[in-house]
Amino acid sequence: MARSKCPSCEYHEFEAVPVTTKSGQKFCLIQCVACGTVVGTLDDVKITNVIKNAERKMSKFLENLNRKVINVCNRK
């Protein structure tokens, strides 16, 4: 089996380095141990967290909308 090599220095060991962007998004950079050349990225977001956050936001939105509809209906 062939060994992966860094495209810059041809070293063969890599590491995952966690990074957070200015907007708070988390990634892992896959980089060469010897020279630090980035050869890939992995998204650190877990889909279950994304779904739970979306559900929570949707629930709050629907509660707010429901309150507004009730207020409008009670004015008549």
pLDDT tens for each residue of 16-29: 888 888 998 888 89
pLDDT grade for 43, boundaries at 50, 70 and 90: confident
Same domain, 25 and 11: yes
Same domain, 35 and 51: no
Same domain, 75 and 63: yes
34: closest CA among 65, 72, 6, 60? 6
Same domain, 39 and 69: no
Bridge-based pairing of strands 14-20 and 26-32 is antiparallel
How far from each other are the two terminal CA atoms of the chain, in whole angstroms?
A: 77
Same domain, 26 and 61: no
For the chain, the domain total comes to 2
Range of the domain at 14: 1-45
Same domain, 41 and 11: yes
Mean pLDDT of 56-60: 95
Torsional sign, CA 14, 41, 23, 58: negative
pLDDT grade for 48, boundaries at 50, 70 and 90: low
Rounded Cα distance, 40 and 29, in Å: 6
Same domain, 2 and 26: yes
pLDDT grade for 76, boundaries at 50, 70 and 90: low
- Number of helices (H) and strands (E), helices first, in the chain? 1, 3
- pLDDT above 70: percentage of residues in the chain: 93
